[in-house]
Amino acid sequence: MIQVLDVVIAGLLLGGLYALIAMGLSLQYGVARVLNVSHGEFIMLGGMTTWMLYSGFHINPLLAVAICGPGAFLLGFILHRTMFKRLLALSASPGIFESNSMLASFGLLFIIQNIAFMIWGPEIRGYSYLAFPVDLGGALFGANRLVTLGFAIAIGLAFYTFLARTRMGKAIRAAAQDPVTAGLLGVDINLVLALCFGFGAAMASIAGVLISISYPVNATMGLEYTIIAIIVVVLGGLGSIPGSFIGGFVLGIVGSIVTSIEPGLALVAYYVIFMLLLLVKPTGILGR
Amino acid sequence: MSENGSTELAESENKKEERMSTKHLTRREFIRGAALTGAGLVVAACAPAPTPPPPQVVKETVVVAGTPQIVEKIITPTPVPTAVPTKAAVKDKIVVGMSRPLSGPLAQIGDSAFKPIYETWVKEVNDAGGIQVKELNKKLPIELKVYDDKSDVGTMTRLTEKLIVEDKVDFLWPGCGTSFIFAQAPIANKYGYVLVTAEGGATSIKDMLPSLPYVFVTLSFSDWYQLPVFADLMAEKGAKTAFIAYIADLHGIEYSGVAGIEFPKKGINILGVKSLPPDIKDLSPVIKEAKASNADIFCCFAYPDQIMPATGTSMELGYNPKAWLGGPGVNFGFYATTFGPAIEGVMGFTTFSAKQSATAKALADKLYTGKPRELQDWWGHPLYWAGLEMWKQAIEKAGTLNQEKIRDVLTKEHFNTVLGDTWFVNGLLAKESHTGEIGQWQKDQFEVVGPKNKATAALVYPKPAWPTK
pLDDT of A288 > 80? The answer is: no
pLDDT of B266 > 60? The answer is: yes
Average pLDDT, chain B: 85
User: How many other CB atoms are found less than 10 A from the CB of residue B373?
Assistant: 11
Nearest CA in chain B to A260: B285
Whether residue B213 contacts residue B189, with contact meaning beta carbons closer than 8 Å, is answered with yes
Residue B90 is predicted with a pLDDT of 78
Residues 138-197 of A with CB under 8 A from B: 140-145
Nearest CA in chain A to B104: A220
pTM of the predicted model as reported, rounded to 2 decimal places: 0.80
pLDDT of B246 > 60? The answer is: yes
Mean per-residue pLDDT for A261-287? 86
Q: What is the pLDDT of residues B41-60, one digit of tens each?
A: 544 444 444 444 444 444 44
Q: How far is A90 from chain B (nearest CA, A)?
A: 12
More confident residue, B444 or B468: B444
Q: Which domain holds residue A201?
A: 2-280
Whether residue B89 contacts residue B104, with contact meaning beta carbons closer than 8 Å, is answered with no
Q: What is the pLDDT of residues B162-193, one digit of tens each?
A: 999 999 999 999 999 888 999 999 999 999 99
| Residue A1 confidence class, pLDDT cut points 50, 70, 90 | low
Q: How far is A249 from chain B (nearest CA, A)?
A: 14
* Residues 6 or more apart whose Cβ sits within 8 Å of residue B38: none
Whether residue B291 contacts residue B320, with contact meaning beta carbons closer than 8 Å, is answered with no
Query: Please, what CATH class does the domain formed by B94-217+379-432 belong to?
Result: alpha beta
Mean per-residue pLDDT for A253-258? 89
**Within-domain flag for A287:** no
Question: Which of A171-185, B131-145, B408-422 is predicted least confidently?
Answer: A171-185
**B314 and chain A: CB distance < 8 Å anywhere?**
no
H/E element holding A83? none
| Residue B211 confidence class, pLDDT cut points 50, 70, 90 | very high
| Helix B250-265 with B226-237: angle, nearest 10 deg | 40
More confident residue, A243 or B53: A243
**Within-domain flag for A206:** yes
**Within-domain flag for A285:** no
Q: Give the residue from B353, B336, B359 showing the smallest Cα distance to B456.
A: B353
Contact residues on chain A for B110, CB-CB shorter than 8 A: 122
More confident residue, A82 or B111: A82
**B431 and chain A: CB distance < 8 Å anywhere?**
no
DSSP letters spanning A191-249: HHHHHHHHHHHHHHHHHHHHHHHHS-B-TT-HHHHHHHHHHHHHHH-TT-HHHHHHHHH
| Residue B270 confidence class, pLDDT cut points 50, 70, 90 | very high
Residue B29 is predicted with a pLDDT of 61
**Within-domain flag for A125:** yes
Of the residues B282, B287, B338, B339, the best mutation for testing chain A's interface (the one with the most A CB atoms within 10 Å of its CB) is: B282
**Within-domain flag for A286:** no
CA atoms within 13 A on the CB side of A226: 20
Cβ within 8 Å, pair B286-A259: yes
**B309 and chain A: CB distance < 8 Å anywhere?**
yes
In this complex, the residue of A117, A123, A216 whose CB is nearest that of residue B103 is A117
Residue A128 is predicted with a pLDDT of 87
Mean per-residue pLDDT for B415-419? 95
| Domain-wise residue ranges, chain B | 94-217+379-432, 226-350+436-454
**B94-217+379-432 and B226-350+436-454 share one fold:** yes
Q: What is the pLDDT of residues A118-170, one digit of tens each?
A: 898 878 888 989 888 888 877 888 899 899 999 989 998 898 899 889 999 99
| Residue B340 confidence class, pLDDT cut points 50, 70, 90 | very high
* Residues 6 or more apart whose Cβ sits within 8 Å of residue A248: A15, A16, A17, A18, A19, A20, A21, A22, A23, A232, A236
Residue B1 is predicted with a pLDDT of 39
Q: How far is B107 from chain A (nearest CA, A)?
A: 6
ipTM above 0.90, yes or no: no
CATH of the domain at A153: 1.10.3470
Whether residue A199 contacts residue A86, with contact meaning beta carbons closer than 8 Å, is answered with no
**Within-domain flag for A191:** yes
Burial of B444 (0-12, 13-18, 19+ CB in 10 A): exposed
Cβ within 8 Å, pair A140-B277: no
What is the domain count for chain A? 1
Fold assignment, B226-350+436-454: Rossmann fold (3.40.50)
Question: Which of B107-111, B193-197, B248-252, B364-368 is predicted least confidently?
Answer: B107-111
**A26 and chain B: CB distance < 8 Å anywhere?**
no
Query: What is the per-residue burial (b if ≥16 Cβ within 10 Å, else e) of B191-222?
Result: bbbbbbbbbbbbbbbbeebeebbbbbbbbbbb
Average pLDDT, chain A: 90
